[in-house]
């Protein structure tokens, strides 16, 4: 394959779209150190910060999603779209990519639309069990769609879909041997149960309120709690750090947090679900109801239907959480069953499989 390989990646708006794109870029660079890689994102979104931090160039488009009600932003959308398509044409003309890769989010729409028009091979990476509107539109002309869930075959041309899984952190592949290191890192007692609570980088209000309500019982039952409450809520909840409860704004050592946990409570973003399948621990998913097309509930249910996790809607927490959670903590056989079943759903080689598909597109084009 040519040494001057050129790949353009687009996706963003949330970490769920950005981090898979960075993982794909890293694997391309590992295989082809001389490859030229460029990212395209939305000019006011988090990818403009995260991608350069990962060591890659990025150009921003003046694009944003449609709101669900009539707003000034919606009235501006046609102008933003035309501007973004025009800039995408210039970027593609200047960069001359061999392949264009989209990982979802509105920024990938104009870029991959232009790539398709110019007959540049395109690959979509769909993280969720229910695809977003951008990937649904782009799928008609994409060459390959790399998916994490069988459920997406209902929405895409089946002959294009390859089940690869979602790219995940490679340091999660061997957490089984990190248990002792994790207990030392978090200053935990090896003889006590440990619960890990994950609300995402910004945090999740309902999850934090739930844990605050049960913090006294957790302490009373001597259960160790690693509580990642998020940036937005740290000031409010940091005072709960006492005894067996520790509150964190972020968890920089996610591999050790997973390794320390006996039971995990988590949101159900696509990346989190994919990671938790590899981790293989019993999980209670509390999906966020505030995401487009209720993606998180669909992601969680795709696991739960295989008896591989427990899913609870925010509206069920008052009635069901306490009994379900404390029963699970006491039920070793149920923990083992859920952990083993979720592990069966893991696709640990996702990033490598996606780059294999990119290589096939380049060979086919040549």
* Residues 309-333: tens digit of each pLDDT: 999 999 999 999 999 999 999 999 9
State the pLDDT at residue 220: 93
State the pLDDT at residue 85: 85
Average pLDDT of the residues in 33-57: 91
Q: Residue 66: pLDDT above 60? A: no
User: How far apart (Å, rounded) are the C-alpha atoms in residues 315 and 317?
Assistant: 6
Nearest to 106 by CA among 45, 39, 23: 45
Note the pLDDT tens digit of each residue in 242-277: 999 999 998 989 999 999 999 999 999 998 999 999
User: How far apart (Å, rounded) are the C-alpha atoms in residues 143 and 118?
Assistant: 13
User: How far apart (Å, rounded) are the C-alpha atoms in residues 296 and 278?
Assistant: 18
State the pLDDT at residue 80: 72
Evaluate whether 39 touches 58 at the Cβ level (below 8 Å).
Answer: yes
Evaluate whether 245 touches 237 at the Cβ level (below 8 Å).
Answer: no
What's the angle, vertex CA 218, arms to CA 213 and CA 221, rounded to 5? 145
pTM of the full structure: 0.84
- If one counts every other C-beta atom within 10 angstroms of the C-beta of residue 305, the result is 11
Nearest to 127 by CA among 166, 170, 168, 155: 166
Annotated binding-site ranges: 14-16, 128, 169, 201, 296
Residue given tokens 């056989």 in the structure block: 333
User: How far apart (Å, rounded) are the C-alpha atoms in residues 213 and 228?
Assistant: 15
Nearest to 166 by CA among 282, 24, 365, 321: 24
State the pLDDT at residue 64: 64
Q: Residue 147: pLDDT above 70? A: yes
Q: Residue 208: pLDDT above 80? A: yes
Q: Residue 138: pLDDT above 60? A: yes
Q: Residue 39: pLDDT above 90? A: yes
Q: Is the dihedral of CA 135, 137, 138, 143 positive or negative?
A: positive
Average pLDDT across the chain, whole number: 91
State the pLDDT at residue 73: 64
Backbone angles phi and psi of 61, in degrees to 5: -105, 150
Average pLDDT of the residues in 11-32: 89
DSSP letters, 178-198, are: GHHHHHHHTT--TTS-EEEEE
More confident of the two residues 11 and 225 = 225
What's the angle, vertex CA 281, arms to CA 279 and CA 285, rounded to 5? 100
At 70, is the pLDDT very low, low, confident or very high (cuts 50, 70, 90)?
low
What's the burial of 364, exposed, middle or buried (CB within 10 Å: 0-12/13-18/19+)?
A: exposed
Annotated binding-site ranges for UDP-N-acetyl-alpha-D-glucosamine: 14-16, 128, 169, 201, 296
Q: Where are the alpha helices (DSSP H) in the chain?
A: 15-31, 47-53, 72-95, 108-117, 133-138, 179-185, 205-220, 234-237, 254-260, 270-279, 295-304, 317-330, 332-343, 350-365
State the pLDDT at residue 306: 95
State the pLDDT at residue 106: 82
Evaluate whether 316 touches 300 at the Cβ level (below 8 Å).
Answer: no
CA 34 to chain centre: 28
Tokens of 136: 């649904």
At 74, is the pLDDT very low, low, confident or very high (cuts 50, 70, 90)?
low
User: How far apart (Å, rounded) are the C-alpha atoms in residues 209 and 215?
Assistant: 10
User: How far apart (Å, rounded) are the C-alpha atoms in residues 340 and 281?
Assistant: 8
- Kindly list the distances between the CA atom of residue 174 and the CA atoms of 164, 169, 177, 237, 349, in Å, as whole numbers in the listed order: 20, 11, 6, 32, 13
What's the burial of 153, exposed, middle or buried (CB within 10 Å: 0-12/13-18/19+)?
A: middle
Evaluate whether 299 touches 128 at the Cβ level (below 8 Å).
Answer: yes
State the pLDDT at residue 132: 83
Average pLDDT of the residues in 12-17: 78
More confident of the two residues 251 and 82 = 251
Residues 6+ apart with CB under 8 A from 298: 128, 129, 130, 151
State the pLDDT at residue 207: 95
Q: Residue 126: pLDDT above 60? A: yes
Q: Residue 103: pLDDT above 80? A: yes
């Amino acid at each position: 394959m040519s040494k001057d390989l050129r790949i353009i990646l687009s996706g963003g708006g949330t970490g769920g779209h950005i981090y898979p794109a960075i993982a794909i870029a890293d694997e391309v660079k590992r295989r082809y150190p001389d490859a030229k890689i460029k990212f395209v994102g939305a000019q006011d979104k988090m990818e403009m910060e995260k991608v350069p931090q990962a060591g890659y160039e990025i150009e921003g488009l003046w694009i944003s999603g449609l709101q669900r009600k009539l707003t000034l932003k919606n009235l501006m959308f046609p102008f933003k779209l035309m501007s973004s398509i025009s800039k995408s044409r210039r970027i593609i003309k200047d960069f001359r990519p061999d392949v264009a890769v989209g990982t979802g989010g509105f920024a990938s729409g104009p870029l991959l639309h232009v790539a398709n028009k110019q007959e540049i091979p395109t690959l979509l990476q769909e993280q969720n069990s229910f695809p977003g509107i951008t990937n649904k539109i782009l799928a008609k002309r994409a060459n390959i769609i790399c998916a994490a869930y069988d459920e997406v075959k209902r929405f895409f041309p089946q002959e294009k879909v390859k089940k690869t899984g979602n790219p995940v952190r490679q340091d999660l592949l061997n957490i089984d041997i990190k248990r002792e290191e994790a207990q030392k890192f978090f200053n935990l007692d090896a003889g006590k149960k440990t619960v890990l609570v994950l609300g995402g980088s910004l945090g999740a209000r309902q999850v934090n309120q739930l844990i605050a309500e049960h913090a006294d019982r957790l302490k009373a039952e001597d259960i160790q709690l690693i509580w990642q409450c998020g940036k937005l809520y740290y000031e409010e909840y940091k005072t709960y750090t006492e005894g067996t409860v520790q509150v964190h704004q972020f968890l920089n050592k996610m591999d050790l947090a997973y390794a320390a946990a006996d039971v995990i409570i988590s949101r159900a973003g696509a990346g989190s679900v994919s990671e938790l399948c590899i981790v293989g621990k019993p999980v209670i998913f509390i999906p966020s109801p505030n995401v487009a097309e209720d993606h998180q509930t669909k992601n969680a249910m795709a696991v739960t239907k295989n008896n591989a996790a427990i899913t609870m809607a925010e509206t069920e927490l008052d009635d069901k959480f306490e009994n379900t959670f404390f029963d699970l903590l006491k039920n070793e056989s149920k923990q083992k069953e859920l952990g083993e079943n979720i592990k069966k759903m893991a696709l640990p080689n996702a990033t490598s499989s996606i780059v294999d598909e990119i290589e096939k597109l380049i060979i086919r084009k040549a």
